Amino acid sequence: MQEVQRFNKVLKSFVLSGDIILLNLLLWVFDSLWGNHSLFEFSMPLFQNMALMTLCYLVCNIRSGVILHRPVVRPEQIMLRVARNMIPFVLMVLGLSYIFHFECVNLRQLGAFCVVLIIVIISYRLTFRAILELYRKSGKNVRKVVLVGSHENMQELYHSMTDDPTSGYRVLGYFEDSPSDRYPVNITYLGQPCEAVDYLARNAGKVDQLYCSLPSARSAEIVPVINYCENHLIRFFSVPNVRNYLKRRMHFEMLGNVPVLSIRREPLELLENRIVKRGFDIICSLLFLCTLFPIIYIIVGLAIKISSPGPVFFKQKRSGEDGREFWCYKFRSMRLNAQSDTLQATECDPRKTRIGSLIRKTNVDELPQFINVLKGDMSLVGPRPHMLKHTEEYSHLINKYMVRHFVKPGITGWAQVTGFRGETKELWQMEGRVQRDIWYIEHWTFILDLYIMYKTVYNLLHGDKEAY
């Protein structure tokens, strides 16, 4: 195991060294091509430029920037890690440049440089990963594993380790009360769990990891195995038996000294992420409400008043974060009617006014929801808020429907930009919307919010047949 760990440390250092070489080569190429018009305007020396960039790159990548050495990692994970670490890298370069007055940064050329750098680093790391997989396929840099127990989780674990020969695992065998038909016949049966310690002692230095799935009731057999592993440089892993009722990825957490498995990871549970999202909501909503909205309100308000009697705003109770009710504001697009809180709008809805059809088609009717965003009832991006009647109905019809209320509702959302906006004529349409809302909650990033906002504007400019 120590040999594998040392190899991985050398591997990570080698990858980072390659990154630094490519970074500086690219700086030299850009400096040669642009001459006096370098990334830093005026007269910043090339070597000072290289030193600044190298320092910033190492700080942003030395801890968690390299993941290609892991036993199981997908190409898109490697690409995402490179792109993610590029954000603090650029911010740090800009910050240090201005704080220490290195020189004025040429933002356009810095942007071009970063795009090229991302492409080069991703290509380099994917190539490196491919070479590493070939190396592991030949039997090198592998972790030798012993399994204890044979329930369903262990069966899946075995196949995850062995189906792909490039994963870096080699299963030496398993311990169970008797030979199990859950494992293939070619895997070695090593004996009963009580014999595990003797086996490890006889094969000292030949086992790197041990995975145990015995229930806690057999702690008398588990504890000696843990103690032996802890004292002989063998990593011990406990595999909980939850796959028989939870067929999904689990997330491990600690509450005090108690281990807890959660069924989903929500990035917006972290305070720093909530601060970023709320700060962005406040800034954008204030800017819009103090600049464009007054003009839009005058024009649209007059058109609404001329087209039909009634108020300019339509307000309706909707389901918000944690199921709390709030008043959702919209420009009124329909005549006053008794079905506004129970009947969803349709394509040829007779309740719509002449101006109402236009503002619904262009989504102008949603703009007053920036007031809800500023108040904190909504966010710019999130699951769309539904009428109370729909929340009550669909919570009984669709499994996990209420999960979408773990975050604030949004003016636009992931479901809306991926084809699930507008009227839900069939149950499967609402199911698709809920699935995408849950995906958004589990995969939230600030970049994802920006992408959804971009897609919303793009769909608006190119027309959306579901907008009515």
**Minimum mean pLDDT range among 37-51, 127-141, 222-236:** 37-51
pLDDT at 254: 72
The answer to whether residue 82 scores a pLDDT higher than 50 is yes
Share of the chain above pLDDT 90, in %: 31
Residue 90 and residue 154 in one domain: no
pLDDT at 43: 47
Q: What is the rounded distance in angstroms from the CA atom of residue 468 to the CA atom of residue 451?
A: 23
The answer to whether residue 128 scores a pLDDT higher than 70 is yes
* Residue 222, token pair as written in the block: 């588990």
- Determine, yes or no, domain membership for 266: no
Residue 163 and residue 127 in one domain: no
- Determine, yes or no, domain membership for 353: yes
pLDDT, tens digit (0-9, with 9 covering 90-100), for 160-184: 787 766 567 889 999 999 998 888 8
Highest mean pLDDT range out of 13-17, 187-191, 213-217? 187-191
Distances (CA, A) of 103 to 41, 43, 45, 58, 312: 6, 8, 10, 21, 53
| Residue whose token pair is 């939230």 | 444
- Determine, yes or no, domain membership for 237: yes
The answer to whether residue 33 scores a pLDDT higher than 80 is no
pLDDT at 468: 43
Regarding predicted confidence, which is higher, 12 or 322?
A: 322
pLDDT at 244: 63
Spell out the residues 6+ positions from residue 439 whose beta carbon is closer than 8 angstroms to its own: 414
Residue 305 and residue 407 in one domain: yes
pLDDT at 200: 93
Share of the chain above pLDDT 70, in %: 82
The answer to whether residue 202 scores a pLDDT higher than 50 is yes
The CATH code of the domain that includes 192 is: 3.40.50.720
* Residue 206, token pair as written in the block: 């030949």
- Determine, yes or no, domain membership for 454: yes
Last residue of a domain, one of 104, 138, 172: 138
Length of the chain as a residue count: 468
Kindly indicate the confidence band of residue 358, based on its pLDDT and cuts at 50, 70 and 90: confident
Kindly indicate the confidence band of residue 3, based on its pLDDT and cuts at 50, 70 and 90: very low
pLDDT at 117: 87
Average pLDDT over residues 106-114: 74
**Minimum mean pLDDT range among 68-82, 234-248, 305-319, 387-401:** 68-82
Residue 342 and residue 223 in one domain: no
Task: Give helix 107-137 / helix 2-34 axis angle, nearest 10°.
Answer: 150
Residue 316 has φ and ψ, to the nearest 5°, of -145, 140
Spell out the residues 6+ positions from residue 385 whose beta carbon is closer than 8 angstroms to its own: 318, 319, 320, 326, 328, 378, 409
What mean pLDDT is reported for the chain? 82
Average pLDDT over residues 120-132: 83
pTM of the model: 0.61
Residue 324 and residue 453 in one domain: yes
Range of the domain at 219: 143-260
The answer to whether residue 289 scores a pLDDT higher than 90 is yes
